[in-house]
Amino acid sequence: MLKKILIGLAIFLLLASIAFYFASKPTATEDGAYIPSPFALKLATSPTTDFDNTTYNNPHTGNKKVLMVCTEERNMTMANGKKFSTGNHPVEMMLPAMHLRNAGFEVDVVTATGKPAKVEMWAMPEEDKAIKAFYADFKKKLENPGSLSDFVQNSMTDSSDYIAVFIPGGHGAMLGLPENKDLNKVIHWSHKNDMHMLAICHGPAALLAASGNGDKESFIYNGYKIASFPDAVDAQGPMIGYTPGAMPWIYGERLNKLGVTIINEAADNTVHMDRKLISGASPLAANDFGKLAATELLKVVNK
């Protein structure tokens, strides 16, 4: 009897291991890249969100806007050469934008050259009616964004319409933006004009654009504390098939070297404000991040 039980247990464990192996393998896309495995999607995404549709007292009725800087790049080449299909995370874009809308602020979208913003559609909360309705309208801006380059050349210096710059998350924030010279100018422009900077999850990776030559002493966020997606969690990506390989570079580590402290250890709902920099740790923080941003921007226009 004991022998039969042990054999049965061994077979169960073998079948469970085989099932986990296939469930944790990243899924190939038509262009040869990979999206997260079924197992990783179950762990890291949700069909709904905690958007609470906050109503704000004295919403803004003027012309102040928020400039959302998105990536126009799709595939991240991992350390092993495999490509991860990424872009901008829909929850980290939509929830904050919905709170900003409720507070009376329009959100303008730009990408580096004006190509359509890429969206991690595999992370879309398909059962969230509020998100889906907002996205149906907002995707027009994502598909036809302005050009960050044109903004810098033609609008940045003289513009008084903008009250904040917003960099959403998704691993796509690590593609093209951290070394973008136009973003460097926008960050310094916003900082000089005492505007708010909003960055969530992997969004803070794009703040590296402000470092220029990589000098810690001249980095405008040297000494700041932020909430952001932890490097240690990114390192676990290949284990569950979230990414098809190890990260090509470690953005939190680079921010640390420039004097930035990441306050959270988990990919949780942590949000933080240090001076005019508002940050959030992960998609779980998107609702509170959006509420904090909307509240702080209203304080500026209503004072």
**Which two tokens mark 223?**
């000494």
Left (φ > 0), alpha (ψ -120 to 50) or beta: where does 77 sit? Answer: beta
Left (φ > 0), alpha (ψ -120 to 50) or beta: where does 287 sit? Answer: alpha
Nearest alpha-carbon partner for 167 in 156, 175, 159: 175
Give the active site residue among 98, 117, 201, 273: 201
CA within 13 Å, CB half, 236: 10
Sequence-ordered list of residues with C-beta below 8 angstroms from that of 140, at least 6 positions apart, any chain = none
C-beta separation of 275 from 222 below 8 A: no
201 part of the active site: yes
**Known catalytic residues?**
201
